[in-house]
Amino acid sequence: MQNLPDLKQLSHAQKDELIRMLWPLQQQVQDLTAQMVVMQNSIKQLEGRLALNSKNSSKPPSSDGLHKPAPKSLRVAGERPTGGQKGHPGSTLSQATEPDRIVVHNVPDQCQACHLELPFGYVSETRQVFDLPVLQFEVTEHHAMQAICSCGHVHTAEFPAGVNATVQYGPRAQAAMVHLNQNHAVSVQRTAALMKDFFDLPVSQATVLKATQAGANILQPTVQDIGQGVVRSAVAHADESGLRVAKKLHWLHVLATDTLTWMGCHPKRGGEAFESMALLKQFKGVLVHDGWMPYKALDCQHALCNQHHLRELTYLLEELDQAWAGDMMELLTHANHFDNLNCADGKSPRYDSQKYQGEVRDLRALYDAILAQAQAANPIAPSTGKRGRPKQSKATNLIGRLSDYTDDVWRFMTQPDVPFTNNVAEQTVRMPKVKQKVSGCFRTLPGAQNYCVIRSYCATMHKQGANIFESLVAAFKGAPPQPSFG
């Protein structure tokens, strides 16, 4: 770098030449400074994208890859003791009152010390072993009798309903295949292998697929009734997730309550799928969802998932140092705990009490104050003159959502049975994602639709405490148990 010349030694002509040379550089410095600001903002946005994970955004855990974020709970340290909480029933293996088999272990006839004959023995201790019997398939042969009357008329007995072929698999075998493959996400190949290992029953992969198709056909009417049951409910949860079908992206749509689960698969994600499947268009209760715009266009009341808000606020606090985000997280978490404490049975908060309503007003006032602070720290980006709305930051977008849909954010405190989160729908999506991980994709759209039917039925029966395997057995016998829609 050259040293600055002594200006006193320069002539007027030399100074004028130096000014003419440096003057254009002033504009270049301003231009470079502006470019540097733009580049710094871009770098900050890119670094923010790299910091996004399943703990601070709506990204699924599968997108975290090998770099899993450290688990971090929003619970306050020391708030609850470790281990099972008070009132939790717990479960452990205990002795049966009537064992199936008793094995007696006798003492010797003579005393090992004095060799005298021992008196009658008594039971000093009992121990029980819970195990499975030898699993082996059994073959039932049906004989259709025939008799010819003296008049020449032939009488032939009929086989039972469902016995249609010379050789076939029975309802329990078909239920086991469907239970493993569809409900527990075991691949078709491994399902066939397990049938051989468990029961010594040779089964081909085509047989597993045939049983799946038969099960879906049987359960389709029941699943349609489940969908209508969800539509008639006061509160329902909705979510959607990508599903690979026939090498193309399709969408799994979920509509669920605490006791009912309905799933459907469609090539489209938004309004066209809603029109085709119709259920969401019919729903008029409170729909809990993640704030996706097509849901907001539905003609019903809405409740936003606050767990999504907490994740986004975590990102703003930890990655962008937005202090207001921490205050909002603390407020929403406190409101959720307060609502739970005021529930007598976990579902019916005392909404009519003056104390409860007063607390709600105070929390809402604090909520508005925090939003005002956030809006002051994150002004809306001005229009650039280009077509469309100017792009806003993540903080501005979240602040706008929390401000524009305040009633939907707080509906969990103002209406009975509306929960704080959309976990009911998100939990419903998990097993289909596991199924897709195991199989890679669904090869055909009918195969994906069959899965949705069977999984909807199994998830519903599980929620209602039924034995899923026995329910499938009854279904293959022609009488599927019906869930409760009350």
The whole-number pLDDT of residue 54 equals: 75
| Host domain of residue 414 | 311-380+392-421
466 C-beta neighbours (distance < 10 Å), count: 16
Q: pLDDT (tens digit, 9 = 90+) per residue, 390-414? A: 888 888 999 999 999 999 999 999 8
* Phi, psi torsion values for 303, nearest 5 degrees: -135, 125
Domain presence at residue 406:
yes
Domain presence at residue 316:
yes
The whole-number pLDDT of residue 352 equals: 66
The whole-number pLDDT of residue 73 equals: 64
Domain presence at residue 343:
yes
8 Å CB contact between 137 and 201:
yes
The whole-number pLDDT of residue 293 equals: 92
Q: Classify strands 235-245 and 286-289 as parallel, antiparallel or unpaired.
A: parallel
The whole-number pLDDT of residue 45 equals: 76
The whole-number pLDDT of residue 325 equals: 94
Domain presence at residue 195:
no
Domain presence at residue 350:
yes
Domain presence at residue 280:
no
Number of Cα atoms under 13 Å in the Cβ half of residue 243: 33
CA distances from 118 to 103, 104, 106, 125 (A): 21, 17, 11, 19
The whole-number pLDDT of residue 363 equals: 93
378, two tokens: 């994150």
Domain presence at residue 482:
no
Tell me how many domains the chain contains.
1
DSSP letter assigned to residue 389: P
The whole-number pLDDT of residue 24 equals: 81
Domain presence at residue 117:
no
Q: What is the pTM of this model?
A: 0.82
pLDDT-flagged residues of the chain (< 50): 345-346
